[in-house]
A and B are shown apart, each in its own frame.
Chain A
Amino acid sequence: MSLGPAEVAKIAHLARLAIRDEDVPAYARNLSAILELVAQMDAADTTGVAPMAHPLNMAQRLRPDAAAEPDRRERFQAIAPQVEAGLYLVPKVIE
C-alpha cells in the first residue's frame, strides 16, 4: 500500500499533528515504505489464529472502586503551560 501527500495530510489531521507542507512528500515516501514492509504480513496464513493482545494472557486485574491516590492538583498544575484558579487554560472554543 502506498500513501500520497493528500492521504498523509488526512492522517496527520486525524493524529492532530501539524506537518510543514514541504515535509509531507518525505513522510509520504517513508510511510509507504513502512507499509510495504508491513505488507509482508500478508504472506502468513492466520486463518483461525486467536489474536494475542497480551503476552501473558492475563486477565485485567480489578481493584476496589475507592480513591487510591491523594489529591495532588497543585503539584500537577505547577507544570502546566497555563492555569488559572485551578483550571487549565486553552483558547476559546466557542466564540
Chain B
Amino acid sequence: MHEKTIAQLSAGLAAGEFSSEELTRAFLERVERFNPRLNAFITVTAEAALARARVADQRRQRGEAEPLTGIPIAHKDIFCTDGVRTSCGSRMLDRFVAPYDATVVEKLSAAGAVMLGKTNMDEFAMGSSNETSFYGPVRNPWDLEAVPGGSSGGSAAAVAARLAPGATGTDTGGSIRQPAALCGITGLKPTYGRVSRWGMIAYASSLDQGGPMARSAEDCALLLGAMAGFDPRDSTSADRPVPDYAALLDRPLDGLRIGLPKEYFGEGLDGVVAQVVEEAIAEYRKLGAETIEISLPNSRLAIPAYYVIAPAECSSNLARFDGVRYGHRCENPKDLLDLYTRSRGEGFGAEVTRRILVGTFALSAGYYDAYYLKAQQIRRLISDDFQRAFERVDVIAGPTSPTVAFRLGEKADDPITMYLSDIYTIAVNLAGLPGLSLPVGFAAGLPVGLQLIGDYFAEDRLLNVAHRYQQVADWHLRAPAAFA
C-alpha cells in the first residue's frame, strides 16, 4: 500500500480494498522499521493514529467520508498538536506538550486525515539541511550520508521513504521547496496568507507559510484544499474562497507562457542540475508551453535582505521563550536576569542563537535605517521585479536549489555557504508569492527539483502545471531503492 499516492489510497479506501486501520498500521510498521535509519520522526503517535483510523473507518461507513478521510499523514513538529509534544526541533520545547491544535492540524483532522506523528526539522525552522535539530540530523533516503534539506527535512524524508504518503511543512525562505527538491518529492509553499499561521510556531511572521508535501501535485492539491482558508485567529489570513484545486489539475498547457529568469541559470548553478532542469523545460514546450527569457534584476539582493528581515522578526518572535510560562528553564536561577539568559542560552542551539543576535543587532538603536528599513525597501524592489515579470508570463520556472543534496556536515560549520543553498527560493517568500518544487530527474543519483513560481493566489495554476508534467513523466513515482 505504501507505494500508492494519496489519490490512489483515497480511491482504495473508497472502494473498500483496505480500511484506514489497515493502512495506518502499514505505515506505522514502516515508520518503526525505517525511522531509526532516517530520524525523520521526532514523535510517533501510534495508538492515537490507530484510534483515529478507526473513527475514520466508521465515518466512511456512515457515508460521510471526504477524500482525505482515513489517509495517514505526518505533521512537521512546528505545528501545535493538542496533548502531543511540539518541540520545534529545539531543546527549548523538548518537553512542551501543546495545549491546542494549530488551525492546519485542526482542519486536516476535520477532513479525517490520521496523524502518524511529528516530523524532525531544523531548530525553529532555521536551517537548510536539518542539521540544526536538537534531535539530530535527518538522513536523505536517496543517500544516507546526504542531507534531506531543511527545514522541513523530516517531512520530506518521510514522504520520500514512503513512511507517510503526505506531510505538512512550513516555508520561510525555502523550507518546503528545497527539501522537497533534495528528497525528490513535490512541495508547495502557498501565497502568504493562504494557509493559517495560527498554532504554527513563529519564526519570521511576514514570511512564514505552511503548505503540503507529498509525492505528486495531485496529492498536494488534495492536502492544500483541506489546509487553506480564512482563519479569523490569524490576523494575516487571506479572506478569499479556496478553489477546488483537484478539479483544476487537468487544464491543458497550450499557450502557457513560462518565464525563465536569466539570473536563475547563471553562476553557482551546478552544471548537471542545469541540464536536468533544461530537459524538464523542454518537456513543457512539448506540452504546448511557450518559454520566454525574463529578468529578475534584484535577485542577488534577496539573500542579504532576507538575512536582515528574518533574523529581525525571529529575535522578536523568540523573545517569548523566557523560561517563565513554558519551555526550558535553567536550574537554580539566582535572579530573574539569570533565569532569562541561562534558560535561553541553554534552550537554543547555535544557529538560532546566531539569528537572534543578528536580528537584535539590526534592530538595536541607531541601526534601523541601515538594516531593517533598507531590507524592506529591497523587498519592494524584489516584489516589483516579479510583478513586472507576471505582466509577460503566467508562471516562472527554474531550479529549486543550485545543487543536489550535499553531504552531512559539509556546510554545517559555515553558515554563509549554507544560506546560499536557498538562493532561488528566498525571493519568493520576500514577495509573498506561491512556489512549488517538483522532481524532474537526477544528478549523480540524487533528485533534482524544478521550481515553479506563480502570481498571488495562483496555487491552482502551479498545481495544474506540475500535474500535467507528472502525467507524462514518472520521476515523482521513483522510490529510493532502500525504501521501495
Contact = CB atoms under 8 A, between A and B. Distances in A.
Interface of A: 3, 8, 11-20, 27, 30-31, 33-35, 37-44, 46, 49-56, 58, 60-61, 63, 72, 75-76, 78-82, 88, 90-93
24 contacts: A11-B361, A16-B337, A18-B345, A20-B345, A30-B354, A37-B303, A38-B307, A38-B371, A41-B308, A41-B374, A41-B378, A44-B381, A49-B377, A50-B380, A54-B236, A55-B191, A55-B193, A56-B432, A76-B99, A82-B329, A90-B324, A91-B334, A91-B339, A93-B336
Contacts of B322: 16
B434 to A, nearest CB: 11
Given A34-B416, A40-B304, A90-B324, A51 B380 contact: yes
Given A19-B345, A56-B238, A33 B378 contact: no
B291 to A, nearest CB: 27
Contacts of A55: 191-193, 206, 383, 430-433
Nearest to A49: B377
B357 A31 contact: yes
Given A19-B353, A31-B357, A37-B416, A53 B206 contact: yes
B364 interface: yes
A23 to B, nearest CB: 8
Contact of B374 (A13, A15, A46, A80): A46
Contact of A51 (B191, B307, B377): B377
Contact of A44 (B96, B378, B433): B378
Interface string B409-422: 00000011001000
Given A18-B345, A27-B357, A76-B325, 14 more contacts: A15-B315, A15-B356, A15-B360, A17-B344, A31-B357, A34-B416, A40-B301, A43-B301, A51-B377, A55-B192, A55-B383, A55-B430, A56-B456, A93-B336
Contacts of B327: 81
B195 interface: no
Given A40-B300, A46-B381, A14 B360 contact: yes
Contact of A17 (B236, B345, B378, B431): B345
Nearest to A8: B357
Contacts, number: 166
Interface in B294-332: 298, 300-301, 303-305, 307-308, 315, 319, 322-327, 329
B344 A16 contact: yes
Which of A11, A41, A52, A90 counts the most chain B CB atoms within 10 A? A52
B457 to A, nearest CB: 9
Given A11-B364, A17-B341, A41-B374, A79 B358 contact: no
Contacts of A3: 361
Interface string B436-457: 0000000000000000000010
B288 interface: no
A43 B282 CA distance: 36
Given A15-B315, A55-B432, A76-B325, A50 B377 contact: yes
A12 B325 CA distance: 22
Which of A3, A12, A93 counts the most chain B CB atoms within 10 A? A12
Interface residues of B, number: 71
B45 interface: no
B272 interface: no
Which of A12, A20, A34, A61 counts the most chain B CB atoms within 10 A? A34
A14 B346 CA distance: 17
A54 B236 CA distance: 9
Contacts of B125: none
Nearest to A47: B377
A72 to B, nearest CB: 7
B379 interface: yes
Which of B342, B376, B377 counts the most chain A CB atoms within 10 A? B377
Which of B97, B319, B345 counts the most chain A CB atoms within 10 A? B345
A72 B325 CA distance: 14
Interface string B375-418: 11111110100000000000000000000000000000001100
A58 B354 contact: no
B308 A38 contact: yes
A78 B304 CA distance: 42
B422 to A, nearest CB: 12
Nearest to B419: A37
Contacts of B356: 15, 17
